[in-house]
Amino acid sequence: MPELQVSIARHYHERTKYSPESIASKSRSIDWVNQPVPFKAYKIGTVYDLKPYLMDDSQSEEAAEWQRLSRLLYASYGLTMKMLTMSGEAVYLRSAPSAGGLYPAELYLISRGTPLLPAGLYGYQPQSHSIVRFWDSQVWSSLQAACFWHPTLDNTQLAIVVSAVFYRSAWRYQDRAYRRIFLDSGHLIGNLELAGAITDYRPHLIGGFHDAAVNKLLYLDAHQEGAIAVLPLADLLDVRQNLPLASTALPSETQTDYPDIPDGELLNYCHQATQITTADLRTVAPAAPIEDKYNFPFCLKVSTASAAIDWGENLGDLEMTIHQRRSTRAYSGSALKLEELNALLDFSYQPQHYIDQELDPTPDYFDLNLIETFIAVSGVDGLEEGCYYYAPKAQELRQIRFKNFRRELHFLCLQQNLGRDAG
């Protein structure tokens, strides 16, 4: 019998894996002449400047509402630093990290019609920290239909859509850019969740929607840009918008019938092939409970119980951390403390510990059963070197390998010293 062909998603994953051989065979010089611009511009539309409201302490109700929206967008995807290159060109960094600083994501705001924002479509402009109303008609019912009548859209007035402009990342990372696009959009969605807690919004995550319908609603060129996630914003200051949790993800059909796809076309083909066109919500199974793994009787088990990080009054220190955090190109090589690692894991995986600081104890996810966390420990005071599985329910690290992996990590990170020098 002929061997069954794997799904297009698995095929994409296998084709875009890094190895010394694939890097050597597919390497190419970067086309600096055609470097994409990381911003989207609108020639027409009504501009709403959000900069005055970032530090506005006005007591008027309208100004307070503008300030909430301004802080939400700035902490999610705003420009937080400007640097000059050796040639004098400006490079902008944002509150959300991005692979290669390419920022493929775009943010759109859809209003049902509020005293602040008339009904229509708005594009966030991080370069000027403003929003542009580029379509001034009611589209909410079209959004509901495109999201298969998701219940959170019945009672909310605003929604954010995260999209990806594919070429911004593919310009450098080619077909593998699709991986990085979702890594970037995940950072952005995480920022939206934290920024929402700071500004009294609750984003409800929708990953299952009619892709073509959402793209059409936003007037996107689907070959250049595609919607990644829809997030209705529940206003927590309105008791009617304190809503129950709802489903976040829907399955797409598994496609195994596809042609030979040349390099350079795989990203777009995979995106188009995995889009959703219809959904039978009655067939969506509830999420299975999360279960810990690797509970070997012989392995070292280390508790990760930790006191919650104090994020200050009204989460002010958290907001400042989002604004000021940066990536690095070098580590000192000094060891971490076990308490620091535990605090990081606790904040990332145990949101219920932060309910007293008014962070959401049950934020939305797509499917946590698809994710497992392993930690290679090379330099943590109080923790033996090796590879550990993090068990989120038991809140412990379980050692499954027993050696120092610095040399292997250096190789796996493509000879980048960050992998070698990390704790």
Tens digits of per-residue pLDDT, 343-357?
999 999 999 999 999
Residues 370 and 268 in one domain: no
What phi and psi values does residue 59 have, to the nearest 5 degrees?
-90, -5
Residues 247 and 185 in one domain: yes
> How large a percentage of the chain has pLDDT more than 90?
78
The answer, yes or no, to whether residue 245 has pLDDT greater than 80, is: yes
pLDDT given for residue 283 in this prediction: 64
Report the CATH number at residue 338. 3.40.109.10
Q: Is residue 398 part of a domain?
A: yes
Reported as a pLDDT band with limits 50, 70 and 90, residue 280 is: low
Residues 76 and 50 in one domain: yes
Q: Is residue 83 part of a domain?
A: yes
User: Distance between CA atoms of 277 and 297, rounded to whole angstroms?
Assistant: 47
**Local structure of 79: helix, strand or coil:** strand
The range of the structural domain enclosing residue 211 comes to 8-283
Stretch among 24-28, 109-113, 195-199, 226-230 having the lowest mean pLDDT? 24-28
User: Distance between CA atoms of 303 and 221, rounded to whole angstroms?
Assistant: 50
Residues 314 and 233 in one domain: no
Q: Give the chain's domain count.
A: 2
User: Distance between CA atoms of 271 and 222, rounded to whole angstroms?
Assistant: 10
Residues 210 and 312 in one domain: no
Residues 177 and 111 in one domain: yes
Q: What is the pLDDT of residues 87-130, one digit of tens each?
A: 888 889 999 999 999 999 999 999 999 999 999 999 999 999 99
Residues 175 and 59 in one domain: yes
User: Distance between CA atoms of 65 and 62, rounded to whole angstroms?
Assistant: 5
Q: Is residue 184 part of a domain?
A: yes
Domain closes at, from 283, 309, 334: 283
pLDDT given for residue 289 in this prediction: 82
**What's the chain's average pLDDT?**
93
For the residues 248-255, what does the mean pLDDT come to?
88
In 46-164, which ranges are continuous DSSP H helix? 61-77, 140-146
Reported as a pLDDT band with limits 50, 70 and 90, residue 4 is: low
Residues 170 and 308 in one domain: no
pLDDT given for residue 166 in this prediction: 98
- Let me know how long the chain is: 423
DSSP characters over 191-253: HHHHHHHHHTEEE--B--S-HHHHHHHTT--TTTEEEEEEEEEEETTSGGG---------PPP
Whole-number Cα distances in Å, 255 to 5, 13, 276, 278: 9, 14, 12, 15
pLDDT given for residue 3 in this prediction: 53
Q: Is residue 320 part of a domain?
A: yes
3-state helix, strand, coil in the chain (%, to 5): 35, 20, 45
Joined tokens for residue 203: 């984003």
Domain closes at, from 283, 316, 334: 283
Q: How many Cβ atoms from other residues are within 10 Å of residue 84's Cβ?
A: 9
Q: Is residue 391 part of a domain?
A: yes
Residues 279 and 312 in one domain: no
Reported as a pLDDT band with limits 50, 70 and 90, residue 281 is: low
pLDDT given for residue 1 in this prediction: 34
Q: What is the pLDDT of residues 299-316, one digit of tens each?
A: 899 999 999 999 999 999
User: Distance between CA atoms of 49 and 360, rounded to whole angstroms?
Assistant: 29
Residues 233 and 321 in one domain: no
Stretch among 76-80, 266-270, 365-369, 381-385 having the lowest mean pLDDT? 365-369
For the residues 23-39, what does the mean pLDDT come to?
84
Residues 193 and 315 in one domain: no
